[in-house]
Amino acid sequence: MAEVGGRLAKQDIYERDKRHVWHAFAPHSEQNPWVVDAADGVYVTDLEGRRYLDAMSGLWCVNAGYGHERLARAAYEQMRRMPYYPLSAAHTPAALLADRLCQWLGGDYRIFFNNSGSEANETAFKLARQYHAQTGQPGRYKVISRYRAYHGSTLGALAATGQQQRKYLYEPLAPGFLHIPAPDLYRRPDGMDPLAYGRSCAEQLEQVIVWEGPETVAAFILEPIITGGGVIVPPPNYLDEVAAVCRRYGVLLIVDEVICGFGRTGKNFAFQHNAVQPDIVTMAKGITSAYVPLSATAVRQDLYDAFKDPADPYGYFRQVNTFGGHPVSCAVALENLALMEELELVPRAARMGDVLAGELDRLYRHPNVGDVRVRGLLAGVELVQDRDTKAPLAADPVKRVIAACKARGLIVGRNGDTVAGFNNVITLAPPLIVQEPELAFIAQTLDEALEEVLGGR
């Protein structure tokens, strides 16, 4: 360990990285990589000693912020007491965490633990299919999701994903996945009432279920707010409406809370902005504030009953993940949730979200800013060529805005789908401990970066 960032010359680290590390979702580069070396609060520091406000919480995941000593201690203590045992048996941190998650969910759930968001969704799809098979409807295997959504990198979760740029080189993916359009309030038909629009989008789901044959449809999966596709906030009634459609046709409702969960939108989980109780909830990232990997698939307790039949020797869920529900991860998650409760980070995210929305309002002075969407501490700034056509701004100027932010010490994200031409949303998801002056800095820096790149257009 002493070598890391210590005795090794910086150039040595750059060279080793450039020779051997395959970077995630990034083109090849001969440039020195950007090496993040330390982090504290809402700031990260690179190997050159430059400090940045991380307005993306890593990958939308360090919800409680960096540098909490007590999370490190929880990991250390659990490692010393019992570093590993699989969940085919049981261990205390998993039992305590499952119970705590039900409190956060506000319902009675059975929790299956995994390692990543992708795996949590894979588990959800398998459980949905097995549930139907064990309740007399083995023909229900199809999973419906939405274009623009991201649900993970593995072949099933990627099949559910609705962004072609991530998929087309890896096909064929898992069969049995269908997509419907996601609501896009910003581009809804002119003058249409948002609630009527929400209803009409839910009717699209209903039509697809009817045309496919409800007896073939296992589940519908959605994020309450599409995050990686560009922070697309749906009409307020949309989730209630699609939940009603699912119920009407016996289709399980899977809510992907991988990003939206754990306070990001100002509620414990984003589905709690509506009056729905999902059949399955998948979660990851903020569950441990990303200090260690962990994910979970929460299934309504009455659905679990289908997995209890003592007369069926194969009626249990036949999946094990070696590291799923790792005791160290569960211990850290418990401490993370305790910390979030003590600091009241969830209601704080709702309050600070209002502050962020107020700060970001100034961006509308730029003609290329088409739409600013904020829900809690989750925000998207959609850049367009002009406001009348709403045509997305090209990827290059969007990238330059992001680089201009970085040059000023601010990390923001960029999301969408290049194949469909929608890679034009700058995303924000700062740690929930962010302070008001830091939110002002985010807005001011974005304002300056937009001025620098697009000012003369």
**Residues 263-302: x/- map of binding to ligand PMP (CB under 6 A)?**
---------------------x------------------
Cβ of residue 25: shortest distance to ligand PMP, in angstroms? 10
CB 349 within 8 A of CB 434: no
For residues 118 and 336, which CB has a smaller minimum distance to ligand PMP in the complex? 118
Q: Is 402 in the site for ligand PMP (CB under 6 A)?
A: no
Binding to ligand PMP in span 109-168, by CB under 6 A: 116-118, 121, 150-153
Give CA torsion, residues 100, 106, 110, 112, to 10 deg.
-60
For residues 228 and 286, which CB has a smaller minimum distance to ligand PMP in the complex? 228
Q: Which residue has the tokens 């098979």?
A: 133
Cβ of residue 292: shortest distance to ligand PMP, in angstroms? 12
Nearest-angstrom CA–CA distance, 376 and 348: 9
Nearest-angstrom CA–CA distance, 377 and 137: 41
For residues 218 and 259, which CB has a smaller minimum distance to ligand PMP in the complex? 259
Quick one: which segment of 32-40, 242-250, 255-263, 423-431 binds ligand PMP (CB under 6 A)?
255-263
C-beta nearest to ligand PMP: residue:
117
Cβ of residue 150: shortest distance to ligand PMP, in angstroms? 5
Length of the chain: 457
**Residues 52-91: x/- map of binding to ligand PMP (CB under 6 A)?**
-------x--------------------------------
For residues 243 and 259, which CB has a smaller minimum distance to ligand PMP in the complex? 259
**Residues 98-117: x/- map of binding to ligand PMP (CB under 6 A)?**
------------------xx
Cβ of residue 190: shortest distance to ligand PMP, in angstroms? 30
Q: Is 223 in the site for ligand PMP (CB under 6 A)?
A: yes
Q: Is 340 in the site for ligand PMP (CB under 6 A)?
A: no
For residues 167 and 351, which CB has a smaller minimum distance to ligand PMP in the complex? 167
| Lateral strand order in the sheet of 378-383 | 369-375, 378-383, 422-428, 413-417
For residues 293 and 392, which CB has a smaller minimum distance to ligand PMP in the complex? 293
CB 327 within 8 A of CB 93: yes
Residue among 412, 407, 434, 409 at smallest CA distance from 363:
412
Binding to ligand PMP in span 181-220, by CB under 6 A: none
> What are the backbone dihedrals phi and psi of residue 332, each rounded to the nearest 5 degrees, phi first?
-70, -40
For residues 167 and 390, which CB has a smaller minimum distance to ligand PMP in the complex? 167
Q: Per the structure block, which two tokens stand in for 236?
A: 């307020």
Question: Contact positions toward ligand PMP, by CB under 6 A?
Answer: 59, 116-118, 121, 150-153, 223, 227-228, 256, 258-259, 284
